[in-house]
Structure 1
């Protein structure tokens, strides 16, 4: 194996509810991004996770590797001593990485035992990772940010990928770093026009698919923006460049970005294109199954809404969705108990009623989790065992029974003021006639008088799950 994926996450302590005490709701998109990264890492199941944090031991002329057999830490300095984690280090990987760096003439290695306590740059991402992929499942290598030359950061990143390949490790790189710190005049660090430019440049590099662009960002702009993650981003570029030189191909995706408190928070994913393409090719496009990137945004938003509303009775601010998604559309949010597959709530709209698709998802996620009359409201203790999907509806069109396909099309039945809908491709619904009968039952229409007395419409959906 080798380096199989890399992720960028921020590290605001308030992202941890025990620290934020409600203020974390102001960065709902970031929290959804954390959860999505944790979900993806759980799917990958790496043996080793390389964690870069600018708040570990940071040297202007040295790249620090966490010493010893492991480290632990808590968020006690932020008033949450109960939030604590420990990591066991992959000593063989760390020592081989140090040897690779030494052979390349790079200033890197373990120089002391000082940094035995995990910093918040590691602890905040661990808070979300532990919920999906506990540290008992992997070993870690702790790496500090560094002020060494960009060429050396790139070369050190290449050593990361080389070491993973040489040791045949299934490894993931997790870079913890906030973006600019001067986005708002009333923020903790004031405003500098370089700050939004830096964040825009970060997003542009991610969306370009070429992380090598991190090493080309204007140094003056970076300094004026007061960023704190760039050295790790450049290491990432070197690591992925080395993996690509070995034949791997990666796609990049900006999962979220926001800066409501004056500091930029970005979540990004760099993953193999081959696996994504294989997953996409495994579904029939006629069935309307969403691609992974779009699904991540809508399902993550629905999940963040359910979790926030169930816990706090508040909802996240509607984010700006990718241009590949419709600006406005009807949708259904379906919630199942993950362990049993049982339906737990499903609410949606036949036509859009909210100003944006994001608003539509938020409203329907709240309704599906707490207002479906068939079920009691979801309780906080259920949140870890939920499977959520979002169906985005295309506009309906008149149809006859012959025009229907229970796998491809949903159906709307109308008789007078009674109207019912059934989504397509549902388990246990194997014929068009059965689909129509169930839709009629939901509407309170008696289908025994014949389908010719019922107005029928069909619609297609894009299913995000």
Structure 2
């Protein structure tokens, strides 16, 4: 984003957003969140004291999209807490000029962030009321005596680098004195009575984030693996790394003001004191490592195709298993979410190397469920390759979804499911999903021929 000026960023903060912090909501439980309440008041006071002309809030709630961030493009911005039993409500002026400038900047630098107006939300039967993720920090700002223009950014399910890059853009669309707020809670699974089922990964996640912010080790937060975040059942990681993207261009001193975990949810409050510009920081390198030469070949094949439009030639000297023939599936994941998967049950090419090259390209650009992979995404893709063994006729009693893949056939229809997939734990689930993929209805399931196969998985 060279050539774009930074705004005078004056302060940044991380707010949790339990509604019971608000007057009239769960007053009998207020003692349980006293430390959080005091820290939120302290953080709001620090922001107000810097007299920002604009506050941008990054929230994980409200209408959100899997493939883009949005910024609210209507004014005034209204919200309240009647859904939580409180008559409290607020009206804020949206900084429309900032919203338009941010939208134009995102388009210019090809970032998936879009201004969305109230009419667009209405067409999808979505409310224009601000969500509690935005409202609770605003309530504290109002309590601290600050009233100014705001902008509300809603996260999308993007890869870490894109979240971080959008954060950088937030500080480049205005020359006003700017404060940034990330709204989000930590783990929701700290205890048996938490909103999500208890998982010890929750406390581990919260401790990792809290200690990283205390030490100013922001790269540690960015590097938390997707499976750890998922087990923690958090809603604050993407708002936080978006904020850290904004702060990457500044000298920053971070301070944890409080952390507590009542009701099984982690509430973390942190402030970020901005000391001055820090150049153009780059996103920390967390490129997935290809531990196998097979996955390295797949990544090279995708890169070659994206840059040249041509298929990579197979290496001249093929060592086992690349010199063999076998059906192969190439699976692509971005931030632990499937991004493409294409394969062949029986081999179509003279060797495994060529099979991998063809299927890797197809998974990247020809999977009809997804948009083609971009060069920017390639560095963050995790690639796995399943090399299939031969098909063995089987009965239902032979099924083993953890160890054996399954092929079903009925009247020319065919479906395949790889083994050891998340959420496929029983033979019944494996058979039902495979038949669904083949277009075989439940009433014809017993008529289908079953075949199992082994796989060798490379990642």
TM range (shorter): 0.5 to 0.7
Q: Which residue of 2 aligns with 1:347?
A: none
Q: Which deviates further from its counterpart, 144-153 or 107-116?
A: 107-116
Q: Which residue of 156, 160, 177 corresponds with 2:166?
A: 156
CA offset at residue 271 of structure 1? 0.6
State the secondary structure of the residue aligned to 2:72. coil
C-alpha distance in 2 between matches for 1:4 and 1:210: 21
For residues 211 and 169 of structure 1, the distance between their equivalents in structure 2, rounded to whole angstroms, comes to: 26
Deviation at 1:110, TM superposition (A): 1.9
Per the TM alignment, residue 207 of structure 1 is displaced from its structure 2 partner at its CA by: 1.3
Is 2:15 the counterpart of 1:15?
no
Is contact 1:156-1:238 (8 Å) kept?
Answer: yes
Separation in structure 2 between the aligned mates of residue 92 and residue 192 of structure 1, nearest angstrom: 44
Of 246, 257, 260, 1:258 maps to: 260
**Structure-2 residue corresponding to 1:110:** 115
Q: Is the 8 A contact 2:9 2:274 kept in 1?
A: no
The Cα shift of 1:92 comes to: 1.0
C-alpha distance in 1, partners of 2:245/2:82?
A: 34
- Whether contact under 8 Å (2:57, 2:134) holds in the other structure is yes
Q: Work out the CA distance in 1 between the residues paired with 2:145 and 2:47.
A: 7
Instruction: Give how far 1:205 is off.
Output: 1.9
**Aligned partner of residue 179 in structure 1, secondary structure:** coil
Match for residue 242 of structure 2?
Answer: 235
Q: Aligned runs of 1:68-147 on 2, under 5 Å?
A: 68-80=74-86, 82-113=87-118, 114=121, 115-135=127-147, 138-147=148-157
- For the 8 Å contact 1:66–1:141, the answer to whether it is kept is yes
Structure 1 counterpart of 2:437: none
Q: Compute the displacement of 1:259 (Å).
A: 0.2
The structure where helix makes up a greater share of residues is 1
Deviation at 1:57, TM superposition (A): 2.0
1:36 corresponds in structure 2 to 42
Task: Work out whether residues 212 and 241 of structure 1, in 8 Å CA contact, stay in contact via their aligned partners in 2.
Answer: no
For residues 153 and 263 of structure 1, do their structure 2 counterparts lie closer, same or farther at Cα, with a shift above 3 Å needed? same
What is the distance in 1 between the residues matched to 2:117 and 2:74?
Answer: 9
Q: 1:66 aligns with which of 57, 61, 72?
A: 72
Are the aligned partners of 1:161 and 1:239 in contact in 2 as well (CA < 8 Å)?
Answer: yes
Q: CA-to-partner distance for each residue in 1:70-104, whole Å, 9 max, x for gaps?
A: 31011111111x11011111111111111111112
Deviation at 1:273, TM superposition (A): 4.0
C-alpha change, 1:206 and 1:184, in structure 2 (3 Å) is: same
Q: TM-score under structure 1 normalisation?
A: 0.55
- Could you say which residue in structure 1 is the equivalent of 2:272? 270
Shift of 1:221: 0.6
**Tell me, what secondary structure is at the counterpart of 2:45?**
helix
Distance 1:36 1:141 in 2: 22
- Deviations along 1:116-167, one digit per CA (max 9) or x if unpaired, are 21111112222221111333xx10010002211111111101101222xxx3
* TM-score after normalising by structure 2: 0.56
Aligned pair count reads 264
User: CA deviation digits over 1:371-407, x for unaligned, max 9?
Assistant: xxxxxxxxxxxxxxxxxxxxxxxxxxxxxxxxxxxxx
Work out the CA distance in 2 between the residues paired with 1:239 and 1:254: 18
**For residues 416-440 of structure 1, what are the alpha-carbon distances to aligned partners after superposition, in whole Å with 9 as ceiling and x for unaligned?**
xxxxxxxxxxxxxxxxxxxxxxxxx
Cα distance in 2 for partners of 1:201, 1:120 equals 26
Aligned equivalents of 1:209, 1:33: Cα separation in 2: 19
1:174 is aligned, of 175, 181, 184, to 181
Distance in 1 of aligned mates of 2:234 and 2:175: 34
2:198 to 188, 191, 196: 191
Mapped pair 1:218 → 2:216: no
- State the Cα deviation string for residues 17-38 of structure 1 (Å, max 9, x = none): 3102221111111001111011
Post-superposition offset of 1:112: 4.1
User: Contact 1:259–1:265 at 8 Å: present in 2 too?
Assistant: yes
The equivalent of 2:297 in structure 1 is none
Contact kept, 8 Å, 1:183 with 1:191, in 2: the verdict is: yes
SS in 2 for 1:141: strand
Query: SS state of the match for residue 261, structure 1?
Result: helix
Runs of 5+ in structure 2 lacking a partner?
A: 1-6, 122-126, 277-459
Task: Return the offset for 1:272.
Answer: 2.3
